[in-house]
Amino acid sequence: MLGTIDAGTQPAADLAWRAGWQAAAALGVTGFCVPESRGGFGLHVPAAAATAQEFGRALHGGPFAGMTASAHALGSADAPEAAEALAGLLSGTTVVVFGSCGADGVARLVDGAGHADALVISDRTAERLVLFLDSSSWQPEEHLAFDVSRAAADLTIDMARGIDLGPAGLARDIYELLLAADTVGGIERMLERTVDYARERQAFGRPIGGFQAVQHRLADHAVHARGMALIVNEAARLLAAGDDDATRMVAVAQLSVAQGATHLLHDLVQLTGGIGFTWEHGLHLFERRAHQNARLVGNPRAAASRLAQLEGWADDV
Amino acid sequence: MTSDIDHYRTEVRAFISNNAHPMAAEGVRAPKDAAEEATIRVWLRSLYTAGYLGAGWPEEWGGQPDHPAVFDLVLMEELILGDAYRPLDQVMLAAHTLIAFGTDTQKAEFLPKIRNADHIWCQLFSEPDAGSDLASLRTRADPEGDGFIVNGQKTWSTDAQWADMATLLARTDPAVDRHAGITAFAIPMDLPGIDVRPIREMTGHEEFCEVFLDEVRVGPEHILGEVNSGWKVVTSGLASERAFVGANAIQLERLFDDLVALARSARLLDGTTVASHEDVQLKLATARARVEEVKLIVHDTVQRILIDEEHASDGPVAKLAYSETNVYLCELALEIISSSVSVDATGTAVADRWRHNFLWSRALTISGGSSEILRGLIGRQLLGLPRA
């Protein structure tokens, strides 16, 4: 198991998020990717991405990406059980998380699985989505996660007890994109904070942001952060429009953010100096979360090989 | 509007395929000989005559009413896609400077000659000791009678070896603030005392020139704008045809496609293609992500330019992102070529083009605002950091 380096110092993940969740759900945040006929807003992926960004900025403890992907899957399915689970998800009373498993029936790294009422699992072997309503149908093994703002678990699932929801559809793309959006929100907040710090922190009689060694790196990060945010928005727009290029752009967004975020955030620590290295300052919380987001979607290598396949780079000429 | 744009694009594309003088290689535009110079001038003239260039000028100088700025972008994109010889930015900047600051006499004399491609313009701005820090320029224009005597040395002047005219910056008042003591002049390049020496660049081409000005006598009719307001004259000229920046997206997309083609055709000793290897795919994917980022940054900038809501840092952000990613793609191409035993059926043509692009990519990160200058502008104008 990975991710135990700070096992002795972990604060609890913010499990209090559920207390406020019904109020958030009342605003409609779980229904952005649910058809209007099923009580949602249609396919407003850009709105979902903007919300994921805000949750990322706030280090929100809930599995927003997974719930939105699950809501989309449930809203697109005909099974009667799906309607009931969806109603609970939309009202904020039920937490339905999202994961994916292979032939062994193990779903690795399911975000929020520890407090899930139900699961939507993308069965990669059958390329179908499956709903699990009874918590006795899965066995969690909690991760002592590197990310301390959320909790993930590996689930061993009794696949025979699942309810078929139909073909995979867009749920996985939505899930992956919203995790990238979550990271972008964190990057933007930390970049703003580091720029503020560089404007105010004095060294050798002047603000450190006046030194090129600091200023130029912040400029590069600002350009890169803008690029990442624009890619996430573009992928969201394409998904919402049903564009053929959407899946490819989701892979690009994932790769762009997964590769860029950890480097960028880690350099912000350097630019913030000793204070940035403290637990209290909190930059590390966003680094941990960005790293976890990249793992949840399958890591940069997976995105790269998906892109290679989608763009046909390795096909015989 | 979309159908207008599509219609315009179709028309421009056909025009280019029927008339264009080809682009030899990225950044190579000085004519090889008199014959090529003549065909380049014919081609540039045809762009003005057809109304593709100069369309945004005032109507009295041949512009068209309600010319949409987005058409400039479409033109530039199609020129890139058609491998056509591209309009000379120094000439377009001169035209905009003349329109904004020229006297009626200057406009009447020079604008028609630009349209007719009788006049190619160059810029005499940079000096051996004044590059990115242009305001430190030392070329002097000392009053003499009703004109000036100019002495100094200029460098990095693209096209000076065949230009008919130049926009010159010289110091007319050494006593005041360095930005305030500079005057702009519009001068013929055949004035006595002007000596042009092409510089051989690391690409092997001679695109830039040194220009020596020795006791060059200029008259009051050569002053562009007002005496000691030269800084304002040239910096405002830099804002013209802003939508052209959008064409960088197409340029980069094209370069990426070429890179993939290279990786798919280049073979290793064991006969496999470079692109079939996972490590290369990861690099291509990283490059793809960067290209998409830049394309969106550039499009975002163009959208703001088209509605006149551009932020001062937008141009620097787009140029930095584009030119640095261009370097990145070229480096990757060279890495692929270095590790291959064969590149493609054409022998060395593909590899040579990449090697040229690789070397040329540094021209783009140094000229027109070096990456270091741009990072400073972004730091101050976008992030609100203090001056370094």
Quote the tokens at residue B318.
């787009």
Q: How far is B358 from chain A (nearest CA, A)?
A: 22
CATH 1.20.140.10-classified regions of chain A: 171-311
Output the CA torsion sign for A253, A175, A111, A184: positive
Q: Among partner residues B284, B294, B387, which is closest to A227 by beta-carbon distance?
A: B294
| H or E stretch at A220 | helix A212-240
Looking at this predicted complex, what is its ipTM? Answer: 0.91
User: At a CB cut-off of 8 Å and minimum separation 6, what does A98 contact?
Assistant: A63, A65, A66, A67, A69, A70, A73, A110, A111, A119, A120, A121, A122, A171, A175
Structure tokens, B252: 């980069």
Structure confidence at residue B203 (pLDDT): 93
Chain A partners of B375 at a C-beta cutoff of 8 Å? 212, 215-216, 219-220
Active site (catalytic) residues of B: 241
CATH 1.20.140.10 maps onto chain B at 242-381
Residue in B281, B293, B376 closest to A256 by CB: B293
Whether A277 contacts A269, CB under 8 Å:
yes
Share of chain B above pLDDT 90, in %: 82
Tell me yes or no: is domain B121-228 CATH 2.40.110.10: yes
Helix, strand, or coil here: A148? coil
pLDDT (0 to 100) of residue A9: 47
Averaged confidence pLDDT in chain B: 93
Residue B290 at interface with chain A, using a CB cutoff of 8 Å: yes
Q: What is the pLDDT tens value at each position of chain A, 317 positions in all?
A: 333 444 444 445 566 898 999 999 999 999 999 999 999 999 999 999 999 999 999 999 999 999 999 999 999 999 999 999 999 999 999 999 999 999 999 999 999 998 899 999 999 998 999 999 999 999 998 876 789 899 899 999 999 999 999 998 999 999 999 999 999 999 999 999 999 999 999 999 999 999 999 999 999 999 999 999 999 999 999 999 999 999 999 999 999 999 999 999 999 999 999 999 999 999 999 999 999 999 998 778 888 989 999 999 887 65
Percent of chain A residues topping a pLDDT of 70: 94
pLDDT at A2: 38
Tokens encoding B345:
């059926």
Mean pLDDT of the B55-61 span: 93
State whether residue B383 sits within 8 Å of chain A by CB.
yes
Query: By CA distance, what is A252's nearest residue in B?
Result: B289
pLDDT bracket for residue B132 (50, 70, 90) = confident
Which range, A228-232, B273-277, B353-357, has the best average confidence (pLDDT)? Answer: A228-232
B325 neighbourhood in chain A, CB within 8 Å: none
CB-nearest to B285 from A228, A234, A308 is A308
Comparing CA positions, the residue from A227, A299, A287, A297 lying closest to residue A261 is A287
> What is the rounded CA–CA span in Å between residue B221 and residue B147?
8
Of B273, B271, B315, B325, residue with least CA distance to B294: B325
DSSP tag of A241 = T
User: Architecture of domain B242-381 in CATH?
Assistant: Up-down Bundle (1.20)
CATH of A171-311, one of 3.30.70.141, 1.20.140.10, 3.60.15.10, 3.30.1360.200: 1.20.140.10
Q: Is the pLDDT of residue B101 over 50?
A: yes
Angle, CA B290 vertex, CA A182 and CA A122 arms, to 5°: 45
**What's residue B2's pLDDT?**
77
Question: Which residue of A204, A215, A245, A299 is the best one to mutate when testing the B interface, meaning the one whose CB has the most B CBs within 10 A?
Answer: A215
Looking at per-residue pLDDT, the higher value among B121 and A141 belongs to B121
Residue B215 burial by Cβ neighbours in a 10 Å radius (0-12, 13-18, 19+): exposed
Average pLDDT (B137-159) is 96
pLDDT for the residue B1 = 67
- Position A160 scores a pLDDT of 94
Distance CA B160, CA B43 (A): 19
Judging contacts by C-beta atoms under 8 Å, the chain A residues touching residue B278 are 301, 305
The CB-based long-range contact list for B129-135 (8 Å cut-off, 24+ gap) reads: B131/B156, B131/B370, B132/B369, B132/B370, B132/B372, B132/B373, B134/B169, B135/B178, B135/B179, B135/B182, B135/B231
pLDDT tens digit sequence for B18-36: 999 999 888 899 999 999 9
Please give the pLDDT value at position A44. Answer: 97
What is the reported pLDDT for B69? 87
Interface test with B, best of A230, A233, A254 (most B CBs within 10 A): A230
What pLDDT is attached to residue A316? Answer: 65
* Tokens at B25, concatenated: 């290689």
**What pLDDT score was predicted for residue A7?**
43
pTM of the model: 0.92
DSSP B387: P
pLDDT at res. B305? 87
- Cα–Cα dist B242/B316, whole Å: 12
Angstrom distances, CA of residue B352 to CA of B25, B257, B337: 10, 17, 10
CA distance A171 to A137: 22
pLDDT tens track for B68-95: 989 999 999 999 999 999 999 899 999 9
What are the tens digits of pLDDT across the range B222-246? Answer: 999 999 999 999 887 554 566 778 8
B288: confidence class by pLDDT, cuts 50, 70, 90: very high
Picking from B327, B281, B321, the residue whose alpha carbon sits closest to that of residue B298 is B321
Amino acid occupying residue A156: T
Sequence-distant (6+) residues with CB within 8 A of B106 are: B98, B186, B221, B224
Asked whether the beta carbons of residue B375 and residue A305 sit closer than 8 angstroms, the reply is no
Q: Contact A143/A1 with Cβ under 8 angstroms?
A: yes
The CATH 2.40.110.10 domain(s) of chain B lie at 121-228
Give mean pLDDT, residues B254-276. Answer: 93
